[in-house]
Amino acid sequence: MYNMPDFRKTLNQYVEKSDILDYSPGLMTRANARKDEAPREDPQEAILRRVQKYRESADIPFEEESTTGAMTETMRPVARPRPLGKGISGDVGGRSAAEEYLGRSVSDQEWEMLVRATYAEATDDPQEQAAVMSVVLNRVKAENYPNSIVDVLNQDNQFQAVTGTSKNPGPSSRYRMLSDGVLSKFETEVTPLLSNFQDKGWLNFTAGNPAAYGEGTDINFLDRVRNAKDSLQIGGTIFGTVR
């Protein structure tokens, strides 16, 4: 029988001398990137990149937790995510609906962040997404919040999908991976529903599932929103205004 410590030592020596393993469907082949030819890629990042590439090519669903905390939902990998911070324009059913709701024009940067945050903070329910967007726009219009979409979304401890938490900072994967295909569907099916929430005036929303509250979040906020006057659950999210 092969001695386990000797096996591990041999394996470690092989990995050190070898290149990063390339995970392909049914195959494990060595990548062509030796130390003397090019800088070595971080092994963990390389594996994650190759697994993601395989998932996209094979159209394999994977688990992604909505950052509203709404629920754990199965979604397909989003191919070719849009670069962050480039700004995106909206069509007649997209940006114009948000501008009409807000009562002013919306810049490319504001529109990009609004779309990304709305998509990331909700499940794929169009009504739920429109309600999330309305909360962001209501805050921009309210006196006690910043008067720009970017500043509202970047406030600390407010939108987990955008800023993360103290224990897990940074935007969520769903925020980063918005694609053109999702954007097109989003603009035609979600933003036209904004008018449904014009008279609600909600300033808060939170996950309806207690299991979604992880480290760095306040689960007591769930009861505060749920008990707020005129609160309402849409999809996996509870909306209201906490006084």
List the domain boundaries for the chain: 18-60, 64-240
Q: Which runs of E-coded beta strand occur in the chain?
A: 21-24, 27-30, 62-65, 72-75, 204-207, 232-234, 237-240
For residue 19, give the DSSP letter. Answer: P
Q: Return all residues near 60 (Cβ < 8 A) that are at least 6 apart.
A: 54, 77
pLDDT value at residue 145: 97
pLDDT at 232: 97
Question: What pLDDT shows up at residue 8?
Answer: 47
Residue stretches of the chain with pLDDT short of 70: 1-93
- Rg, C-alpha atoms of the chain: 22
Extract the runs of DSSP E, i.e. beta strands, from 6-85.
Answer: 21-24, 27-30, 62-65, 72-75
Q: What is the pLDDT of residue 57?
A: 52
- pLDDT at residue 40, rounded to an integer: 62
- pLDDT score at 53: 58
